[in-house]
């Protein structure tokens, strides 16, 4: 029995000329899209951590960066 990893936030840069096509392929690869910026070719979402390489392999994806949240208290 395999276990999937915990979902993590990711930010992606994709080809803006093929935005809808690439986003659909990313959804099929396991991405749950939370926001889209088609004019500049970026989007964010969540995915199981072990699926990040599959997102990076989608044709039209320029970069996949893991989202980090700063949990430090202000001074």
Cβ neighbours of 39 (radius 10 Å): 8
Half-sphere exposure of 68 (CA within 13 A, CB side): 3
Percent of the chain clearing pLDDT 90 (strictly above): 80
Instruction: Give the model's pLDDT for residue 69.
Output: 74
Q: Average pLDDT of the chain? A: 92
pLDDT at 1 over 60: no
Average pLDDT on 14-41 reads: 97
SS (H, E, C) the chain: CCCCCCEEEEEEEECHHHHHHHHHHHHHCCCEEEEEECCCCEEEEEEEHHHHHHHHCCCCEEEEEECCCCCCCCC
Instruction: Give the model's pLDDT for residue 2.
Output: 47
């Amino acid at each position: 029995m395999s276990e999937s990893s915990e979902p993590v936030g990711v930010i992606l840069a994709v080809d803006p000329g093929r935005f809808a096509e690439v986003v659909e392929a990313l959804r099929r690869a396991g991405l749950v899209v939370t926001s889209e910026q088609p004019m500049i070719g970026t989007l964010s979402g969540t995915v199981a951590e072990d699926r990040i390489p599959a997102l990076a392999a989608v044709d039209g994806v320029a970069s996949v960066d893991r989202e980090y949240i700063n949990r430090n208290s202000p001074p």
